[in-house]
Every structure is written in C-alpha cells, then in structure tokens.
Structure 1
C-alpha cells in the first residue's frame, strides 16, 4: 500500500501532521487512526470468514487475492506452462503496430498514394505541391 513512499515523503507527511494537529494532539490522533484501522481489518477478516463458512468446506482454502483478474490470469496461464498463449494475448492487445501504421499514413499520405499509383502504372494528372507552391498574397500595410 505504501511501497511508493520514500523516507523523504514520510518525513514531509510527519511535519505536515505536526503542523495540522499540533504536537500535543498528534499522539491521540495516531491512536485513534490505529484503532480505526484495527477495526476495519477485523471487519474485513470476519467478512472473509463468514464468506468461507457460507461457501462450504470445498472452499476452505479459497485465497481472495486470486480473485483479482490479473492474478487469476497470471496464475492459470503461467502455472499451466502455456506462456505462448500469454504472449499471443499480449501481442493481440498491443495497439502499437496499428498506431505505427496510422502514424506512417498520416506522415506521408501523398507519397503512399504516389507509390501506389506508380506500381499500378497510372499517370497522375494533378500538380505536385512541391513544384508549384501556392502564391502568397501581397502584404498591404495600409489595409490593416
């Protein structure tokens, strides 16, 4: 839960807590927060036990962490030794090849059409933009 907190961040949080709650009320606040966390943890544990007892004896070894979709897929695909299926799923869901194709088309749409026309032996009747740039209108300082 707090794996991404560095010691410097924890120190900053402690300093802010001292300023917000004051040094005399901070221990009381920490005790109340710890008690609240113990109650929430106890509530969650009792809910898990109730669920296990309601499901029956065949689910006594049920691990609730396995119900997370990533864990479920990882456990069943990696444990079965079917890493090829995992790579196939990963490559099918990877949008990078499609995005690269779209980016290439957007970067050079005229070149792709010209190359396709040359392959088919079709002569283009349109003017190239590079050979005849559009004329720039004259600047009139009195008009502005």
Structure 2
C-alpha cells in the first residue's frame, strides 16, 4: 500500500502526527486506525466470500485480481498458445526499416538495400508523380505581392 514512501517522508509523517495529535493521544489514534483497517479488510473478505458462494462451483477458481484489465490480458495471453502466428508477424515487421523506406521515397532517394516494394521513379520532380511539396518555392520579386490568402488573415 505504501511501497513508494521513503525514509525521509516517513519521518516527516511521524513528526506531523506527533504535532497534530500530541504524544498523549497518538497511541490511541494509531490503535483506532489499525482497528478501522482490520474492519475494512474483514468486510472485503466477507464480501468476496459471499460473491464466490453466490457464483457457484463453476467459478471456484475465480480471482478478483483478474478483473484488472492488465492482469486479465496477461493471464489470457499466457494461456493462449495460438499466438505463434502473431509473434512471427511481429518478428517479421521492422518499423525502423519501413520508416526509412518512406523517408527515402519522400526525399527522392533510392531505397537502401530494401527488399520491399519498389518506389516509383520521379515524375515532375517528385517521387509520387505529383508536385513536390517539400521543395522550397521560389521567392517572389520585390515588387510582386504574394497571393492573398483569406484564411490566413
């Protein structure tokens, strides 16, 4: 429950508790808090027992921790052996190589030793055959006004 509290934080909490409750009342407050935690644990255990008894014998191996989505998925993936195809597909897919191929195609370079699909030859100065959108446009002359863009104003 409090696994991430360090030593300095624990000392600060103890000092704060002594300042708030005082050294006289502090043992009584700790006892009341411990009793409250025990009651909550007993209540949750009895609720779990009631739910298990109501579900019947077919759910006797049911664990409430399985309701956590991460735990449920981890358990299902560990039990399912039909995922060999998915693991093979995952191993054959190289994202870095695919990104490099796309970047080479955009920049108009030949793909570097990639056995993937061939990139079409440059048409009209661009790899895809359309206008080269990455190419820097010519700047207008000093007297020439840039085109008016009503959306930009």
Question: Structure 2-normalised TM-score?
Answer: 0.57
Work out the CA distance in 2 between the residues paired with 1:37 and 1:60: 27
**Does the C-alpha gap of structure 1 residues 24 and 85 become closer, same or farther in structure 2, counting only changes over 3 Å?**
farther
**Does the C-alpha gap of structure 1 residues 84 and 77 become closer, same or farther in structure 2, counting only changes over 3 Å?**
farther
Cα pair 1:18 1:26 within 8 Å, conserved: yes
Flag the structure with higher helix content: 1
The alignment of Structure 1 onto Structure 2 pairs a total of residues equal to 110
Work out the CA distance in 2 between the residues paired with 1:26 and 1:40: 21
Work out the CA distance in 2 between the residues paired with 1:7 and 1:116: 68
Aligned to 2:125: 118
Q: 1:41-80 residue pairs with structure 2 within 5 A?
A: 41-80=41-80
Q: Does 1:32 align with 2:32?
A: yes
Q: Does 1:128 align with 2:139?
A: yes
RMSD: 3.8
Cα pair 1:77 1:85 within 8 Å, conserved: no
* Unaligned segments of structure 2, at least 5 residues: 91-95, 108-121, 143-153
